[in-house]
Amino acid sequence: MAKVAINLSTGSLQQEEIIVGIDLGTTNSLVAYIHPETRQPVAINDLGRGTIVPSVVYFPQGGETPIVGTEAKEYLLTDPQNTIYSVKRLLGKSYRDLGEHAQDLGYKVIDDNSEGMVKIRVGDRFYSPIELSAEILKELRARAEHALKTPVNKAVITVPAYFNDSQRQATRDAGRLAGLEVLRIVNEPTAAALAYGIGLSPDEEKTVAVYDLGGGTFDVSILRIQQGIFEVLSTNGDTYLGGDDLDRAIINHWTAQHNLNSLLANNVPLQQELRLLAEAAKRYLSKDDDFGANFTENLVLRLTRTEFNELIRPLVERTITSCRQALADAKLTPQDLDAVLLVGGSTRVPLVYDSVSEFFQQPANNTLNPDEVVALGAAIQADILAGNRRDVLLLDVTPLTLGIETLGGLMDPIIPRNSKIPTKAGRQYTTSVDGQVNLKISVYQGERDLVKENRKLAEFDLRGIPAMPAGLPKVDVNFILNADGILKVEAVELRSNTRQAVEIKPQYGLTDEQVEQMLMDSLTHAREDVAARMVIEARTVAEQMLYQVERFVEKNSLHLTEDEITETAAATERLRESLATNTKDTILKAVDELEELTRPFAERVMNISIKQAMAGKKIE
């Protein structure tokens, strides 16, 4: 049973567990959740400070607790040594990975050991990028707890699709340091697609491009979404290209235009002011055409949209080159894409929108707030993990379907692939032959319709079922899959309470490649599987029909005419022959014929039986 808590501010009952979605960005971070009433993702805006938390950590002199966000950002130029930004670039990296880029940062990156993970020196203390990222996450967590008035202990955190294992692990560790159980690390483009509603329905198949131009990084990913699986077909980008470069282009333009070099030299506040003005101009030009503002007493800085476009055109061109490469790597053309999704604050720049739409030969989708889309998608993912959207895939899921063999060697799925674990599911079966006292239960893993194509995990007999006519025993088969992926299969015959159980570890012995291969096989063979399943189902119907008709004739020969018996025997024979054709339609036609023929006797015999029963006689 789920625990509930009372929200003290509203007096309403609420779910105790809230799982938030977090976009831990290079420039900006956000936290979002699913609103319990509207069921829509919402970015958290605590105390009206806005939804965006700049990913900047400032350590005030004297060692008090660090400051995170907009306030910290103000120290970037005045106290750069103690103001840490872009820490995401350092996550999970060694000094060697960073190379020359280490010098570009305003703070000190330490290389005590070039193979080990980088450290950042602030005053006389050393911090790992994990600790610094944790400070940002703590701030997001605090804002969420304050705004939602409930403890927040669980989160889904996004990372770029190109993040390697070490960077993902570092992100996870940062979450843990911030007191968050990280239920899942999600790719940013996957989150973006989810926010746009793509991938929420299991039978949907889409190929999309996600173009993400943020503050300091650019990446483009081509995703294929199929049956709830988000596959990254390719990614490309430039981890040193973003909105900051657009700002710099404006600064350089104004500096050259007005000979500002000597004025700016050694004047940090003035540099700061110019930088802010450049960003303001850029944002303004996303909506309007002419920007003008005072800079120092007697200077007005101006910029038109057209001038701005010319300044940034080479930068935007570089992103298009990446898109071209990503598309080529995915072996696709623009026509293959169902959508192009825009992510990241810098995609508000009209030239970016136009260039992307032109390259992909379709209007890019920018209907969601590009700052928030990743966090919103992460919140949706969190909601899926919370078990609120059962039809959507998720991790900590079982990678392959678990099921048992039924008549005709068919796979009967009990726990579908991608079911969230732990989970429990069951189904009721019966016997197919009169007096059957044992039921063989064979457990399989895989996506194919025929068990022989899947992997057998276990087999056991449920013994000691009391002899009963076929169809009468009720056998409950339950699959219990625990959080560690251990499967327990229980079978109980309900009328006699005969039971049997086995425990299996489904993952055991399967490498990731094997799991992938099994999934691939199920996709490539889907069509033939469906055909084979239909034949088998027809055969099963036919076999049960034959069994019943023969038994019926045997028991009721007294009530049937000689002709009826011969005709039935002939139709039975035709049905048996049809089985040899292995063709669904032929088999089902013969089934129909036999049924047509026998239905009148069956009704007649039933009437006789009822009359006899009413007369107090025993039916046999």
Q: Kindly indicate which of the ranges 154-162, 210-218, 395-403, 576-584 contains the residues binding ligand ADP, using the contact rule CB under 6 A.
A: 210-218
- SS3 label, residue 59: coil
By the rule CB under 5 A, 41 interacts with Mg ion: no
By the rule CB under 6 A, 28 interacts with ligand ADP: yes
Interface residues for Mg ion in 5-34 (CB under 5 A)? 25
Instruction: Please state, in angstroms and rounded to a whole number, the distance separating the CA atoms of residues 318 and 20.
Output: 35
Q: Kindly indicate which of the ranges 55-63, 149-157, 213-221, 590-598 contains the residues binding Mg ion, using the contact rule CB under 5 A.
A: 213-221
By the rule CB under 5 A, 370 interacts with Mg ion: no
212 included as an active-site residue: yes
Paired strand residues for 423: 481
Q: Kindly indicate which of the ranges 31-39, 280-288, 292-300, 586-594 contains the residues binding ligand ADP, using the contact rule CB under 6 A.
A: 280-288
- Residue 477: CB minimum distance to Mg ion, A: 47
Q: Which of 129, 160, 214, 345 binds Mg ion (CB under 5 A)?
A: 214
- With CA atoms as reference, report the closest residue to 296 among 255, 250, 249: 255
Token reading at 472? 């009468």
Using alpha carbons only, what angle is made at residue 156 by residues 153 and 159, rounded to the nearest 5 degrees?
Answer: 135
By the rule CB under 6 A, 217 interacts with ligand ADP: yes
What residues contact residue 112 under an 8 Å CB cut-off, 6+ apart? 119
- With CA atoms as reference, report the closest residue to 51 among 313, 535, 374: 374
Binding partner selected for residue 101 from ligand ADP, Mg ion, none, CB under the kind-specific 5 to 8 Å limit = none
Buried b / exposed e along 23-62 (16+ C-beta atoms within 10 A): bbbbbbbbbbbbeeeeeebbbbebeeeebbbbbbbbbeee
Catalytic residue among 135, 173, 188, 493: 188
Phi (first) and psi of residue 71, to 5 degrees = -65, -40
- SS3 label, residue 386: coil
- Residue 239: CB minimum distance to ligand ADP, A: 10
115 included as an active-site residue: no
Q: Which of 41, 175, 216, 416 binds ligand ADP (CB under 6 A)?
A: 216
88 included as an active-site residue: yes
By the rule CB under 6 A, 279 interacts with ligand ADP: yes
Paired strand residues for 442: 459
Token reading at 389? 């959207």
By the rule CB under 6 A, 215 interacts with ligand ADP: yes
Q: Kindly indicate which of the ranges 107-115, 127-135, 212-220, 245-253 contains the residues binding Mg ion, using the contact rule CB under 5 A.
A: 212-220
Q: Kindly indicate which of the ranges 221-229, 242-250, 252-260, 299-307 contains the residues binding ligand ADP, using the contact rule CB under 6 A.
A: 242-250
- Residue 345: CB minimum distance to Mg ion, A: 8
Phi (first) and psi of residue 538, to 5 degrees = -60, -45
- Residue 376: CB minimum distance to ligand ADP, A: 13
Q: Kindly indicate which of the ranges 130-138, 208-216, 537-545, 583-591 contains the residues binding ligand ADP, using the contact rule CB under 6 A.
A: 208-216
Q: In what order do the strands lie in the sheet containing 229-238? A: 229-238, 218-226, 205-213, 339-343
CB closer to ligand ADP out of 168 and 348: 348
CB closer to ligand ADP out of 41 and 214: 214
- Residue 191: CB minimum distance to Mg ion, A: 10
CB closer to ligand ADP out of 175 and 243: 243
- SS3 label, residue 472: coil
Paired strand residues for 403: 413, 444
Terminal CA-CA length for the chain: 50
Instruction: Please state, in angstroms and rounded to a whole number, the distance separating the CA atoms of residues 128 and 120.
Output: 6
By the rule CB under 6 A, 500 interacts with ligand ADP: no
Among left, alpha and beta (phi > 0; psi -120 to 50; other), residue 111 is beta
Whole-number Cα distances in Å, 539 to 207, 439, 465: 39, 20, 26
Binding partner selected for residue 403 from Mg ion, ligand ADP, none, CB under the kind-specific 5 to 8 Å limit = none
188 included as an active-site residue: yes
By the rule CB under 6 A, 27 interacts with ligand ADP: yes
Token reading at 65? 């607790």
By the rule CB under 5 A, 215 interacts with Mg ion: no
CB closer to ligand ADP out of 209 and 394: 209
- Residue 264: CB minimum distance to ligand ADP, A: 20
Q: Which of 129, 345, 413, 473 binds ligand ADP (CB under 6 A)?
A: 345
Residue 319: in which H helix or E strand, if any? helix 305-329
Residues annotated catalytic, as ranges: 23, 88, 188, 212
Q: Which residues bind ligand ADP (CB under 6 A)?
A: 25-28, 214-217, 242-244, 279, 282-283, 286, 344-346, 348-349, 371
